[in-house]
Amino acid sequence: MVTAVYFYADAHDTAELLDFFRYGDEVSLHPWPLVREPALSYTPEEAVHDGTVMVRSNRFSAPVILRDGDSAFTAPARAAVSNQINRERLNPSAENGWLVDSNLSPVLLWNPGQSTSTELRTSSIGSQADSMRSVSADYERWVNRVMSWIRRRGTAVWGLDRSNVRPDLDIDLEFLNSVYALPSALRRLEEGAAGR
């Protein structure tokens, strides 16, 4: 992700996140990175199971899709490489769905972490746009509001800043990004669940 926040969330925390989004009223969940017409929507359970989800707000325009010949495949930018890889890997078409142009689409990419009774996996949410402001100022504010909500509600439990590392928790990650535990997930980690 270009801009993202990493966090632990269990089912209760995820439900609160969806309430914050106003899921069902303002926000819908869809597969990433292919967009179908008509749009394929996920239930929250399907979204968590899939693990790669586009979060779309009805306050913004529809996601922009890429077609063969679009400059987003050839532009000298990081996104062009990703677009080329996804095109080869996913074979976008009317039947399969079209690739989302992450630099122009006002959507969030949410990777909900899977959890079991003994283990929580990190989740992440953020924007894939190289410049959120180039999508729109309102979109940039929305992304920042979502990430701030997680930081405010969560407790830092991992990161490069050693004061954020909780040595009393069983967290073993291979990256140094700050990770926040939302309240219910934090209780589970404190009760002995492993954070991975």
pLDDT tens string 21-63? 999 999 999 999 999 888 899 999 999 999 899 999 999 999 9
pTM comes to 0.91
The tens digit of pLDDT for each residue in 134-182 reads 999 999 999 999 999 999 999 999 998 877 788 899 999 999 899 999 9
- The contacts of residue 123 (CB under 8 Å, 6+ apart) are 6, 7, 8, 9, 110, 111, 112, 113
Least confident of 12-16, 129-133, 159-163, 189-193: 159-163
Overall number of domains in the chain = 1
Is 64 a residue whose pLDDT tops 60? yes
What local confidence, expressed as pLDDT, does residue 128 receive? 93
What local confidence, expressed as pLDDT, does residue 68 receive? 79
> Is pLDDT larger for residue 188 or for residue 67?
188
What local confidence, expressed as pLDDT, does residue 179 receive? 97
| pLDDT category of residue 1 using cuts at 50, 70 and 90 | low
Buried b (16+ CB within 10 A) or exposed e, 71-97: ebbeeeeebbebbeebeeeeebeeeeb
Residue 85: domain span: 3-195
The tens digit of pLDDT for each residue in 2-16 reads 899 999 999 999 999
With vertex at residue 181, the alpha carbon angle to CA 179 and CA 186, rounded to the nearest 5 degrees, is 145
